[in-house]
């Protein structure tokens, strides 16, 4: 099982899309193991996006991400990172396929609704940035037996 970080960005929060987006992940079978509505500080945004510091869009990205509250999620499931990224769709809403979050809810090439970790290493780093000790929970869902084939002892 993998755990990934998802951020519903200011545009998703302001547009009232939080519930609809979370429902998509839960409908898919991913488990919400952490959630918090928060205002990202300049410092946290700078640390989160440090890899983009020298890129021309960095200042605008930090300004956008700190402009309004965001909803930060920890999602868990088998292949959660790849599944979440596929569900998110192409980076720019104008290029995202219908049926994806960005394809169904976005048209902007600047405001793209959602962030998701792109690798296990990024997920670990990002989860540590946004969640403190005890804020990402381990809990058993009774419905996992209907999400995954557990007959072999491991989720399939």
Query: Rounded to the nearest 10 degrees, what angle do helices 18-28 and 80-88 cross at?
Result: 130
Exposure string (b/e) for 56-93, b if CB count within 10 Å is 16 or more? eebeebbebbbeebbbbbbbbbeebbebbbebbbeeeb
Q: Which residue in 115, 126, 127, 136 is the catalytic one?
A: 115
Which segments of 9-105 are extended strands (E)?
Answer: 31-38, 70-77
Active site residue 52: no
Which of the residues are catalytic? Answer: 115
């Amino acid at each position: 099982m993998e755990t990934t970080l998802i951020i519903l960005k200011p545009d998703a929060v302001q547009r009232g899309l939080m519930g609809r987006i979370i429902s998509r992940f839960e409908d898919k079978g991913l488990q919400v193991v952490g959630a918090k509505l928060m205002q990202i500080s300049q410092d946290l945004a700078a640390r989160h996006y440090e890899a983009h510091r020298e890129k021309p869009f960095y200042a605008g990205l930090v300004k956008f991400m700190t402009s309004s509250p965001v909803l930060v999620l920890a999602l868990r499931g088998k292949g959660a990172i790849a599944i979440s990224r596929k569900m998110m769709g192409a980076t720019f809403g104008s290029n995202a396929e219908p049926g994806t979050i960005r394809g169904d809810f976005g048209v902007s090439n600047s405001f793209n609704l959602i962030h998701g970790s792109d690798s296990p290493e990024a997920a670990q780093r990002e989860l540590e940035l946004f969640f403190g000790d005890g804020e990402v929970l381990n809990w058993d869902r009774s419905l996992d037996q209907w999400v995954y084939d557990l007959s072999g002892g491991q989720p399939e």
